[in-house]
Amino acid sequence: MKRNTEDVERLKEDILREAEKVFTEKGYVETKMTDISDRLNISRGPLYYHYKNKNELFTATVEYHISGMLRDVEKLFDPSRGKKMYEIFMEDLRHRLKSLDFSTCAHFALLNGGTEMKKAQRIWDESLSKTYEVKLQALRAAQKRGELRDGVTPERCVQTLFALYGGLREIRININENVFHLDTEEMLQEMEQYMRTVLFR
């Protein structure tokens, strides 16, 4: 039976959502296309109809993940919410922690994927640039409202946020969790203390 446009789009989204989970659990190298079709209980035909190989599926999954992340960032940093900037920073960090596992998987795959990851790398880089700009504009507005401490620039605040998030990702990639236990809540409390005493009024 022929699928209508809505069914096709729903299937594509289901594929990407499941692919994000599988890539996160198994990593890019160990993931097989059949892992995703099996999870969705579909034949390989529909999967290969939309994505001709694993690299194409991974690139689409990165784009799916990134577009969701950008929507979230735009909502969080929307000035009409009327929240203090340090509160928004903490919300953003907590939100980013929820997506850290796939980001770690993607970052590792992009670092080690060579030329076949060129398109996915471009999507990733463009998203970072857009995210940086959204946050920078919000922080410039916060500076005008007097929320930043003397001598602290909007650029420094955004760079700090990126550094904190990047540091968490590097811990996931490079440190054995059996050796290094990451107490997320304690770490977030320390980050909030830093932001309130060093960056924000």
What's the pLDDT score for residue 15? Answer: 96
pLDDT tens for each residue of 137-182: 999 999 999 999 999 999 999 998 888 887 777 766 665 555 556 6
State how many domains the chain has: 1
The answer to whether residue 35 is domain-embedded is no
The answer to whether residue 193 is domain-embedded is yes
The answer to whether residue 33 is domain-embedded is no
- Say if residues 135 and 53 touch (Cβ distance below 8 Å): no
What's the pLDDT score for residue 1? Answer: 46
The answer to whether residue 107 is domain-embedded is yes
What's the pLDDT score for residue 64? Answer: 94
The answer to whether residue 75 is domain-embedded is yes
Residue ranges making up the domain that contains 80? 58-199
pLDDT tens for each residue of 16-37: 999 999 999 999 999 999 999 9
Burial tier of 144 (Cβ tally within 10 Å: 0-12, 13-18, 19+) = exposed
- Model pTM score: 0.84
The answer to whether residue 23 is domain-embedded is no
pLDDT tens for each residue of 80-108: 888 999 899 889 988 887 777 888 888 88
The answer to whether residue 151 is domain-embedded is yes
Give the torsion sign (CA, 29, 34, 38, 39). positive
Residue range 42-65: average pLDDT?
Answer: 93
159 vs 46, 155, 162, 170, CA distance in Å?
42, 6, 5, 16
The answer to whether residue 139 is domain-embedded is yes
CATH number, domain containing residue 114: 1.10.357
